[in-house]
Amino acid sequence: MVDWGAADWPPADRKCIIIIYFRPLGGRVMDSLSAIREKIPEHQFPKLIIKPIADALIELGQKGITHRAIRPDNLYYMDEGRQKIVLGDCCTSVAASDQPVVLESIESGMSGVYGRGSGMYADDMYSFGVTLLMLALGRNPMAGLSDDEIIDRKVKTGSYAALAGDERLPVSMIECMRGLLTDDPEQRWAVEGIDLWINGKRMTPVQAKSETHSQRAFMFAEQEFFACRPLSVQMHRHWDDAAKAINDGSLEIWVRRGLENNNLADSIAAVAKTTQAMPGDQKEANDNLVTRVLMLMDPNAPIRYRTFSTTLEGFGTSLAIAMLQKKTLQPYIDFINRDFWRYWVSSQTAYHPDHAQWEGVFKDLKNYMKDTNSGAGIERCVYELNEWLYCLSPLISSQYVLEVKSVLPALDIVSKSSNTKMWPVDRHISAFLRSRYAKGTGTQIDAMNDERPDRATTGMLSVLAIVQWRLGPDTVFGLASWVGGLMGPIINSYQNRQKRKEIEREIPKLVRKGNLPELYNFVDNPEERQRDAEGFSWAKAEYAAAEKQMFELQTGQMDRDENAQKMGRQTGAGVAVVIMLLAYAVTLIGKAF
């Protein structure tokens, strides 16, 4: 790789990720998996093919990277003399999504192509082994077979036997291929084993232990099965029939009597009992039942839920692709809400340190799903699970925004062609900001979800303002004009008519500056808010007094009060005169005597 980055791509009328590689001068090692090429001489294999690929895998391993795209048609000759072989691209597609099933391990092949995950180094070693086998034969020994047929053959006989079959492989290569194609990833050769083999150290590959077989067959989908793994594969393909076989107890009886595995039989019975007691309809209960029983029957397989199949590691990528392709997201929502990850972890026969981290991850995802507000939901989940996913908002997806600091410039660009009656912050943008910049925008996004239109609009403006204030750019003229036209609810929240007119006059001036923090500080000034509230309180008091006076006038209450006061004054004056005369008379009588 020479360089990479997001750039405008006119044919797609949008920005795309562009990756630049050195051009291989000698073409592909094999044109396609259906092609037939001349066999590479046995004595040239170690030096021409094995050593350079092994060295590349060692270097990738030192960087903590898995390739997940090793196959004959993704190997190239760098030189015109076709002596230097290199691995091809592994960056322009989802990990392992371009890999045909024949080149993937049994477990990875069972998974949906976007749910395979970046995997382990053992997955690359398996693909390396299949690649060597094809190059040794000069063709694909499973060409023409469907994916289901390939999986069935590998499950039934093991990968090496299914691929090699009756083919005549170079004797010197058999040991290496057996080591790379063993189905137990713990026993599969690592790159160091390849290096020892090249240097002459002979090692006997340890083949995976064969699965326990029953003496009596289990009839399912018009086929006979003697082991759990091939049966679980068919049950996934015939989902509704699988539910019947589990519910009627026939599977449990066969496991208990045929395989003599009481622990597994007890687990199947317990799952059947608990799932039937769960709230919900019968279909939902059956879906939960089959999903969990398949985990018990084949713990190494991916999590299978009707037509949906994924590894834990590949779940986030699979969700992102489904969202990009606008497919139904219900299986992913069910995956989170029904705790399928937890049941898969509990079904594992061996503890792995990575399992512990999933508890925290899916606990958070479940909480996001419970929250229906903008900034949460399935949109938040997809960004939390995919660190380098660009913002999928329909508003700015064409701008391929990977970082928070690029959100405002992207909105500024699309403001010319967007519906400016809509908010520039949709559920995807708010979820992207909440995931990538939670400390900076969390409070503002919470305000944006307020039920009151003015407070919600203020929250939306504050989200954009704080991003510009902290991350730039200095000006966003198009976006400012867009946001300025949405200030109606904030303007109407002021009670003073003159203040409203003043804000309406000033907003266009502020918009022309392209500064959202300044616009926010103007329309939501705390001092102005307090002054407006106090003025409104005085106005309400004056209005109440005026209304009272009007009521009294209308009902004659004021006239009665005036007459009462007049009569009161007259009566008081008369009483005062009488009292004065009485006092004067008493005084005269007193002097006379």
Number of other CB atoms surrounding residue 268 within 10 Å: 22
The pLDDT score that the predictor gives to residue 544 is: 75
Contacts of 414 (CB under 8 A, 6+ apart): 395, 396, 398, 399
The pLDDT score that the predictor gives to residue 357 is: 85
The pLDDT score that the predictor gives to residue 126 is: 97
Measured CA angle at 30 (ends 27, 33), to 5 deg: 140
Residue type, 363: K
The pair of three-digit structure tokens given for residue 485, joined into one six-digit string: 């036209």
Residue 18 three-state SS:
strand
In a 10 Å sphere around its CB, with 0-12 CB exposed, 13-18 middle and 19+ buried, how is residue 51 labelled?
Answer: middle
Query: Distance between the two ends of the chain, CA-based, in angstroms?
Result: 138
The pLDDT score that the predictor gives to residue 559 is: 57
The pair of three-digit structure tokens given for residue 435, joined into one six-digit string: 């995931």
The pair of three-digit structure tokens given for residue 89, joined into one six-digit string: 């691209």
The pLDDT score that the predictor gives to residue 572 is: 73
Question: Can you list the pairs that 277-280 forms with residues at least 24 positions away whose Cβ atoms lie under 8 Å?
Answer: none
The pLDDT score that the predictor gives to residue 279 is: 77
Alpha-carbon span 305 to 288, nearest angstrom = 8
Residue type, 233: V
Q: Dihedral through CA 290, CA 291, CA 296, CA 297, nearest 10?
A: 60
The pLDDT score that the predictor gives to residue 570 is: 72
Alpha-carbon span 339 to 11, nearest angstrom = 43
Residue 55 three-state SS:
helix
Using the structure block, give the residue that is written with the tokens 């299914």.
Answer: 162
pTM: 0.87
Alpha-carbon span 535 to 166, nearest angstrom = 94
516-523 and 497-511 are packed helices; what angle lies between their axes, rounded to 10 degrees? 180
The pLDDT score that the predictor gives to residue 43 is: 83
453-471 and 516-523 are packed helices; what angle lies between their axes, rounded to 10 degrees? 150
Question: Can you list the pairs that 15-19 forms with residues at least 24 positions away whose Cβ atoms lie under 8 Å?
Answer: 15/398, 15/399, 15/400, 16/400, 17/92, 17/400, 19/89, 19/91, 19/92
The pLDDT score that the predictor gives to residue 206 is: 64
The pLDDT score that the predictor gives to residue 562 is: 62
DSSP-derived secondary structure letter, 329 = -
The pLDDT score that the predictor gives to residue 550 is: 77
The pLDDT score that the predictor gives to residue 359 is: 87
Stated length of the chain: 593
Alpha-carbon span 575 to 581, nearest angstrom = 10
In a 10 Å sphere around its CB, with 0-12 CB exposed, 13-18 middle and 19+ buried, how is residue 432 labelled?
Answer: buried
Q: Where are the alpha helices (DSSP H) in 277-348?
A: 282-297, 315-324, 330-337, 340-347
pLDDT in tens, 570-584: 777 776 767 777 776
Task: Kindly report the three-state secondary structure assignment for every residue of 342-358.
Answer: HHHHHHCCCCCHHHHHH
Residue 209 three-state SS:
coil
Contacts of 45 (CB under 8 A, 6+ apart): 132, 135, 136, 170, 172, 173
Contacts of 74 (CB under 8 A, 6+ apart): 28, 87, 88, 89, 98
Low-confidence ranges of the chain (pLDDT < 50): none
- CA distances, 527 to each of 364, 504, 521, 539 (Å): 39, 18, 11, 18
The pLDDT score that the predictor gives to residue 210 is: 74
The pLDDT score that the predictor gives to residue 450 is: 94
